[in-house]
Chains A and B, each alone.
Chain A
Amino acid sequence: MIREPLIFEISDKGKRAFAMPPLDVPKAAGFLDGLDVRDEIAGFPQVSEVEVVRHFTRLSHQNYCVDDGFYPLGSCTMKYNPKINEKIAALPGFAKVHPYAPVDTVQGCLEVIKRTEDYLCEIAGLDAFTLQPSAGAQGELTGIMLVRAALEKRGNPRKYVLIPDSAHGTNPSSAHLSGYTVQEIKSNADGMIDVEDLAKRMNEDVAALMVTNPNTLGVFESDICRVAEIVHAKGGFLYMDGANMNALTGIVRPGDMGVDVIHINLHKTFSTPHGGGGPGSGPVGVVKELIPFLPTPVVVKTATGYALDGNRPDSIGRVKGFYGNFLVVVKALTYILALGAEGVREIAEIAVLNANYIRKSLEGIYHLQYDASSLHEVVFDDKIQKDAYGVTNLDIAKRLIDYGFHPPTMSFPLIVHGALMIEPTETESKRDLDAFIETMKTIAEEARTDPAMLKAAPHQSYVRRLDETAAARNPVVKWETPKSV
């Protein structure tokens, strides 16, 4: 299999894929005088249209995507992305609208924002949402800043944020950027927050507890209501990382469990495509007390239609330009309307059914460090294969590629060594789940009979194991035109 060259390697002087129509205004004279201008953009590509088209078409063939097959990347919620969503987001009535347009000319856009906020409030059981954050991590940052602003208003922003060791890695850095020192809470033998430990650690210097629920083990924090009581009793806020809401929609609402502030990943739970790493969207939902602090501007409904309210003296300010990743919100709203109330509950029911089906089918073949019941994802590890045959989770993951599957998540949770974190989501068919299960069994067998072959996997991909250590030690992060040319 031949790799597609870099565009710079097929570029040649004078070639072009695009030309401007002739200028229809008189040419300005001397317009560059006094400006520091460039005559050329050194190294910039010059190719024909068909070359551009073939370049990207061939590159596309070197990507695995959800439409190719099973993509059980735990915590990332790689569910099917409906095609209607793309069609709607591309409508010129949405895509071509300028964000500084007068509000009476953008009532449709404002309706999309307000209705999505309202539906998310109902789904999360909270009082208000902001759609401004561009991704989950920015949602976390926004959420903790809201907590800080509210505590400052009360007179003391406090010092610490408590974060369980099973949390997403972005949680601690978001808390840190909000000016807090992070204190880690250890998980108990069931993979859940140790409530006794929390009670001892919670005091009036702690601003918030950031809990991921279900946590990164796919385990529901069963003591969540008690956790909320403990945090609230000392005047702190309960932050919930809602990246795993796929397990809960229509089943239980975070607000009803005592959660004060949450971020939800629209690209996960509400099926807006991940695009190879964004754009995402990380709306933040809050209880009443935190509403005055939300980022500005806020969409409000008035007697004459929708308006933008930027006059919020207690607001934390703006966390990005304009109103969020609007077209991502359009896709999420389209998805919610397609599903309706029953469909939104079905997301969680089937996601959890699919995950437990995999769990039950692979139990004993792969090791489960935590016995607690799983919701939408299940975390196996490589203990059985590693102890007996020296085969690691990396080897298993790379071998899955040969069989046409995307590997599961391996980098976390940090508390499970050799993790294989599998999240099937609700959109997978039983046929595909069965094929995956059979493959995992085959690989377990191969670990016993031919571990060397597993260690050399993948065997079928465009490139095989890549040297990531060399890439980091001697970073080459752009193309340099060879000196001899």
Chain B
Amino acid sequence: MSYIALSDKDKREMLARIGVEAPGDLFRCIPEGVRLKRLLDLPPAMAEPELDRHMTAIAAKNTYGEYESFLGAGVYDHYIPSVVDNLSSRTEFVTPYTPYQPEVAQGTLQVIFEYQTLICQLTGMDVSNASLYDGAMASAEAVLMAHRLTGRKRILVARSLHPQYRETIRTYTQNVGLVIEEVGYGDCGGLKSAELRKKMGPDVAGLLVQSPNFFGVVEDLKACAEIVHAHKGLCVAVAAEALSLGVLEAPAKQGADIVCGEAQSFGLPPAFGGPYLGFMACAKEFLRQLPGRIAGMTKDVDGKRGFVLTLSTREQHIRREKATSNICTNQAWCALRATMFLETLGHDGLREMALQNMHKARYAAGVLAKVPGVKLRFSGAFFNEFVLDLPKPAAAVAAALKAKGILGGLPLGPFEPGLPNALLTAVTETATKASIDRLAAALEEVLR
């Protein structure tokens, strides 16, 4: 299969106009010695029907779909309205480039503007960028931003921040001289404020705290912000489950200075890890230190409203090594899906979905904690996932549940060596009472 649109006659005519004999002659600028004298060792070309069969067969090797899944841990299964798949697959949204020519990209630009508005409404912040790669990378960019804003080199990070986010932060900061320190969690599952008080100081740029955190527990952002602000540091609130913003108070109102995180919950399927959607919003006075693209409203020569990419003087094509970050391509199409998802759910739909997550997770936590030997590991309030404390190693229990067709959660031992018996279980609105009851019954059998 090839996607070339030239006939042999076209090629002959074009070569004749250029004045060469064969396409190969156009590569004379490449030294003869290194030019490939053979075909690449790749499989033979496939026509569409066999390609379709071949790739569908590979997809079928994934048996994940045969299980009832309660996996979460930063990636959540939420219902995606048909409108989102249908509209987002319109080719006018799928196949354009970055809107560098605003006159022919008002569709993309207005969608980004609406996306920025929705993120501001959810977080309570003044300004939002047009998206970042994912929650992990957004957290790393937030650390760099806190450093730029304060000039301070120590950053505190909650131990209950998603482990992958902590790993990414370490990678991003290892070569620019920042010092990352962790703040532990207590029996409620939330950040230990006494430890934060002790570690916070005038040399600390800020704190990154995730709420609901990696264990599903809702953090006391207000208390964190107070402690951090006492030393003129920045409070960065991270949301790995953005749906929680449908019910929980806007982080800005709780004292957060920067809010970032993962918006996969808004219309993006789990997709084995990506593409996802990193979001970031902040107070107005930090706008010029916000990384990534931003769309702004303006007028054209006739006075008509329009949208453009703006504040590009922060970006690498102007500032090169002094730019606020190195990113250019972001996740525009994912932000488009999130915009469609949020506008379709609307005010009431989003709140209903978020509340159902809370009710179902509470029902599940109730029936699971009644299984003999099982209790909730943490006492703090949670959104839609929680940690079960099991009477034996969670990995073995998870394997036994899997044999019964259920993926009951993520064993936390590999992430927290102190929690070998902990299972992180997520219950979204897609779980039914019947499936939750099946999980409880299976857990009881496995532990009997």
Contact = CB atoms under 8 A, between A and B. Distances in A.
Q: Is chain B found bound to chain A in the same assembly?
A: yes
A101 B31 contact: no
B69 interface: yes
Q: B297, B329, B342, B362 — which one has the most chain A CB atoms within 10 A of its CB?
A: B329
Contact of A339 (B1, B69, B108, B262): B1
Contact of A172 (B59, B313, B320): B320
B29 A220 contact: yes
Nearest to A13: B347
Interface string B134-165: 11110000000000000000000000001011
Contact of A93 (B60, B126, B247, B381): B60
B436 A71 contact: no
B62 A84 contact: no
A250 B61 CA distance: 31
Given A59-B107, A411-B100, A323 B272 contact: yes
B26 A352 contact: yes
A170 B433 contact: no
A278 B319 contact: no
A319 B317 contact: no
Given A64-B104, A340-B44, A328 B93 contact: no
A138 B133 contact: yes
B95 to A, nearest CB: 4
B59 A251 contact: no
A34 to B, nearest CB: 6
A472 to B, nearest CB: 5
A80 to B, nearest CB: 6
A119 B42 contact: yes
B294 A463 contact: no
Contacts of B429: 20
Interface in B64-111: 64-67, 69, 71, 73-75, 77, 81, 83, 85-87, 89-108, 110-111
Contacts of B120: 478
A466 B102 contact: yes
A360 interface: yes
B327 interface: yes
B175 A23 contact: no
Nearest to B270: A98
A321 B271 CA distance: 12
A56 B340 contact: yes
B317 A169 contact: yes
Interface string B334-360: 101000101111111111110010111
Interface stretch (A42-50, A196-204, A381-389, A443-451): A42-50
A153 interface: no
Nearest to B15: A353
B299 A64 contact: no
- Determine chain A's interface SS by DSSP, over half rule: loop
B332 interface: yes
A485 interface: no
A409 B46 CA distance: 34
B304 interface: yes
A286 interface: no
A185 to B, nearest CB: 14
Given A97-B272, A251-B35, A401 B104 contact: yes
Contacts of B45: 337-343
Interface in A423-462: 426-430, 432, 456, 458, 461-462
Given A321-B273, A426-B4, A4 B81 contact: no
A282 to B, nearest CB: 8
A35 B381 contact: yes
Given A92-B65, A101-B407, A406 B104 contact: yes
Interface string A116-128: 0001001100000
A323 B274 contact: yes
Interface in A359-416: 360-361, 372-373, 375, 397-398, 401, 406-407, 409, 411-412
Contacts, number: 671
A195 interface: no
B28 A373 contact: yes
Q: A37, A177, A326, A471 — which one has the most chain B CB atoms within 10 A of its CB?
A: A471
B82 to A, nearest CB: 9
B419 interface: no
Q: A8, A56, A87, A330 — which one has the most chain B CB atoms within 10 A of its CB?
A: A56
Q: B48, B54, B69, B92 — which one has the most chain A CB atoms within 10 A of its CB?
A: B92
Given A82-B3, A179-B176, A468-B298, A276 B61 contact: no
A52 interface: yes
Q: B29, B62, B136, B402 — which one has the most chain A CB atoms within 10 A of its CB?
A: B62
Interface in A131-154: 134-138, 140-141, 145, 148
B166 to A, nearest CB: 9
Contact of B133 (A109, A134, A140): A134
Contact of A317 (B52, B111, B167, B366): B167
Contact of B108 (A63, A86, A123, A341): A63
B3 A49 contact: no
Given A59-B107, A318-B164, A477-B127, A52 B11 contact: no
Interface string A312-344: 000011111111111110100110111111111
Nearest to B11: A353
Contacts of B307: 466
Contact of B121 (A43, A102, A328, A398): A43
A337 B262 CA distance: 32
B107 A60 contact: yes
Interface stretch (B191-199, B226-234, B248-256): B248-256
Contact of B113 (A53, A134, A225, A478): A478
Contacts of A345: 39-40
Contacts of A220: 29-30
A73 interface: yes
B98 A276 contact: yes
Nearest to B19: A360
A346 interface: yes
A366 B58 CA distance: 50
Contacts of A134: 133-134, 137, 274-275, 331
A256 interface: yes
Interface string B1-17: 11111110011011101
A100 B45 CA distance: 33
A18 B354 CA distance: 13
A40 B4 contact: no
Contacts of B162: 321
A360 B407 contact: no
Contact of A15 (B26, B122, B274, B346): B346
A74 to B, nearest CB: 11
B29 A222 contact: yes
B448 interface: no
A176 B321 contact: yes
A357 B1 CA distance: 24
Q: B29, B113, B346 — which one has the most chain A CB atoms within 10 A of its CB?
A: B346
A108 B62 contact: yes
Contacts of B413: none
B352 A337 contact: no
Q: B221, B311, B347, B350 — which one has the most chain A CB atoms within 10 A of its CB?
A: B347
Q: A31, A138, A267, A401 — which one has the most chain B CB atoms within 10 A of its CB?
A: A31
A340 B333 contact: no
A173 B43 contact: no
29 contacts: A57-B90, A60-B90, A62-B107, A63-B107, A63-B108, A92-B59, A97-B271, A98-B75, A100-B71, A123-B40, A173-B323, A182-B320, A224-B31, A256-B34, A276-B99, A278-B131, A321-B164, A334-B51, A338-B46, A340-B46, A349-B26, A373-B26, A427-B5, A456-B301, A463-B106, A464-B301, A466-B300, A477-B310, A478-B116
Given A275-B334, A322-B164, 14 more contacts: A16-B346, A25-B360, A31-B358, A56-B93, A64-B105, A81-B94, A84-B48, A104-B63, A169-B317, A169-B318, A357-B18, A360-B19, A477-B127, A477-B310
Enumerate the 5 nearest inter-chain pairs by beta-carbon distance, A residue then B residue, closest first. Answer: A322-B273, A275-B333, A93-B59, A340-B45, A179-B175
